[in-house]
Amino acid sequence: MAAAGWSDDRRHRIAVLALDGVVAFDLGAATQIFQSARDDAERRHYVVRVATPGGAPVRTSAGFTVQPDQGLEILTGAHTVLVPGTHTGSPLFDGALDPEVGEALRQVLAAGRRLMSTCTGAFVLAAAGVLDGRPATTHWAHADRFRALYPKVRLDPEVLFVDDGDVLTSAGVAAGIDLCLHVVRRDHGAEVANRAARRCVVPPWRDGGQSQYIERPVPSPTDTTTEPTRRWMIENLGDRLDLPAMAAHARMSVRTFTRRFREETGLSPGNWLTGQRIERARHLLERTELPVDQVARVAGFGTAASLRQHLQAALGVSPQAYRRTFRGSAQDATQES
């Protein structure tokens, strides 16, 4: 039997909870990304509904009004509840929240389901008490206010998003796209996420964190960039790429290269490289029949043991388990069609 407000199908149900002053970009981007996640037969993996307290229209930050699908009751049947950013309301200014909204969000977690927020939506989750003791992020420009209102939250304003398992938060505006694509990748694999990104004409993965977007003095036009070296690294993931080799390619000293790389990406060269290698390994595990030890070599991990260690640390699964999950899903989809 279908849950209230939902069609009776097997797709993952996402409720987007729009509050007064909702950021229009966050609301539209989240629904667009998830509706663009499809299998090889163009069937959507998610069904998305917009909800508001009482099912009432809400005014967006852009000045127009949104008419929702449902009220808070739809949250009870959702597998994931996403709270977009908002520019108004008590969660942003005095730490208060409509008790009915707070209880609905707490029930999502109590039922073992997933909560997400984009941008200042983290203020809403924090006001509901579901971020206490957890790592989280929000737009860097609101970090000081967030810390003052919600000192129990382990805020990290340097990153684009934080995945804490059943609660995920993102930085501002476009970082919400990054988080939604991350969730698609987590749920259905890199190929589905990449296809959704292509459909929306956005990058499937952005390097680094918010530190690269925080206001800083404009660099001198004579300053060089590490971008060509990053391209070279991606083209040569299977090679031994140590810090001196990277710096030499960029024609910088190791110290200058490391500093410039972190300024541009928000990550150290080593961490950035590991992330790229993990993405390559995931793609190969999903889309090829290569043995795990060969995947490890092509992706630059050298040995199957090293790949296993890094994949376990990043995703909590072994290479074989990851392959079974996503290749099994692809085979099931083919059989159903």
- Whole-number pLDDT of residue 15: 96
**Mind listing the pLDDT tens digit of every residue in the chain (337 residues)?**
456 677 766 899 999 999 999 999 999 999 999 999 999 889 999 999 999 999 999 999 999 999 998 999 999 999 999 999 999 999 999 999 999 999 999 999 999 999 999 999 999 999 999 999 999 999 989 999 999 999 999 999 888 899 999 999 999 888 999 999 999 999 998 889 889 999 998 877 765 555 444 444 444 444 578 989 999 999 999 999 999 999 999 999 999 999 999 888 878 999 999 999 998 998 899 888 999 999 999 999 999 999 999 998 888 889 998 888 776 544 443 333 2
Which residues are CB-contacts of 72 (< 8 A; sequence separation ≥ 6)? Answer: 17, 51, 53, 54, 100, 101, 104
DSSP 163-197: E-SSEEEE-STTHHHHHHHHHHHHHH-HHHHHHHH
Question: Phi, psi at residue 193, to the nearest 5°?
Answer: -65, -40
What pLDDT, on a 0 to 100 scale, did the predictor assign at position 307? 95
**Cβ–Cβ under 8 Å, residues 257 and 246:** yes
Distance separating alpha carbons of residues 243 and 246, to the nearest angstrom: 5
Q: Are 44 and 35 in contact (CB under 8 A)?
A: yes
Please say whether the dihedral angle defined by the alpha carbons of residues 181, 185, 188 and 189, taken in this order, is positive or negative. Answer: positive
DSSP state of 54: G
Q: Which amino acid is at 132?
A: D
The rounded radius of gyration (Å) of the Cα atoms in the chain is: 21
The two structure tokens encoding residue 83? 């709270």
pLDDT value for 220: 43
